[in-house]
Amino acid sequence: MTDRIKLHDKVFKRFIPNERLIEAIDKVADKINADYHGTGKVPVLLCVLNGSIPFTAELMKRLDFDVDLMSIKLTSYQGISSTGEVKMDMGLTGDVTGKEIIVIEDIVDTGRTIETLVDILQARKAAKVKVCTMLLKPEMYKKDLALDYVAMEIPDDFIVGFGLDYDGLGRNYKDIYVLDNESQN
């Protein structure tokens, strides 16, 4: 385990160890299983690329019912801050018409991305849309849109690791790291 990492010009310190992430994923998977096991429904897990890949992979292994898997790529960050604009970098990898969707997101902060995505899915005639996020910044989230499954709440800090990046780097770390303001130049 690495206590500190340097990505580009920033230093990050370990914030959430992988064991805590896995415990949170286990708990959120239990909630989803309780909602879907034995219903005969086959929802689509919609992985929001690229950050949600590790979370989606871990979550899928814990679900005890059949699922379909699709992806979409939306971006709203540049560097360590949000651009305030949500851009679709890659469209949906399948047809969602009449299907129940569980959006799998790595992190929800302002909610702009998730709100835009739900609008896209509703416009494409998805039957039902639920939202599952690995991380939520509750003090940042002011939208009326319900988040159905939240694995973990965190403060409003810039983080990397377990799928989350800083200008393309840091997604591969199994732990989550927070910007270490004391180590910055």
Q: Tell me if 177 sits within 8 A of 170, measured CB to CB.
A: yes
Per-residue pLDDT at 123: 95
Q: What letter does residue 166 receive in the DSSP assignment?
A: B
What domains are defined for the chain?
A: 17-155 (3.40.50.2020)
pLDDT per residue as tens, the chain (185 positions): 689 999 999 999 999 999 999 999 999 999 999 999 999 999 999 999 999 999 999 999 999 999 999 999 988 765 655 666 777 778 898 999 999 999 999 999 999 999 999 999 999 999 999 999 999 999 999 999 999 999 999 999 999 999 999 999 999 999 999 999 876 65
At CA 161, angle to CA 183 and CA 2, rounded to 5? 60
Task: Look at the block and give the residue holding tokens 């910055």.
Answer: 184
> Please, which residues bridge with residue 68 across strands?
44
What pLDDT, on a 0 to 100 scale, did the predictor assign at position 79?
A: 60
Q: Is 61 exposed, middle or buried (0-12, 13-18, 19+ CB in 10 A)?
A: exposed
Active site residue 165: no
Predicted TM-score (pTM) of the model is 0.92
Q: How far is the first Cα of the chain from the last one, in angstroms, to the nearest whole number? A: 24
Catalytic residue, from 9, 26, 64, 109: name it: 109
Q: What is the pLDDT of residue 91?
A: 80
